[in-house]
Amino acid sequence: MNGVAMGREGEIDGTAHVHVVADSATPLRQIEIYRNGALAHSEEIDSRELDWSWSDRDNPRSESYYYARVTALPMVAQGMPAVAYSSPVWVTRKE
């Protein structure tokens, strides 16, 4: 996110830009971005590989944290979907 790695804190200029890269043995179905613990953005996808970006232009706060959740098809029939979470990134926007 704006050059700040997962699990880290950092300062950003302006808009928060989220970049997610993921690979899966089964097709990925959904990407969700959470800001401060609440869903900020969600998209349906259909790919085993993901290289995806999103810009958070609607965040009025100067301090926030973000994390991603990616959901894939289950490995076996009638199984639970595979879910992966990123580590959070804490950012402060420079004023």
Contact 56, 40 (CB under 8 A): yes
> What pTM was computed for the model?
0.89
Per-residue pLDDT tens digits for 33-62: 999 999 999 999 999 999 999 999 988 788
Domain ranges of the chain: 9-93
Would you place residue 14 in the very low, low, confident or very high pLDDT band (cuts 50, 70, 90)?
confident
Q: Which residues contact 90 (CB under 8 A, 6 or more apart)?
A: 8, 9, 10, 63, 64, 65
Average pLDDT, the chain: 91
Selecting from 1.20.1090.10, 3.40.50.300, 2.60.40.10, 3.40.50.1000, what CATH number does the domain 9-93 have? 2.60.40.10
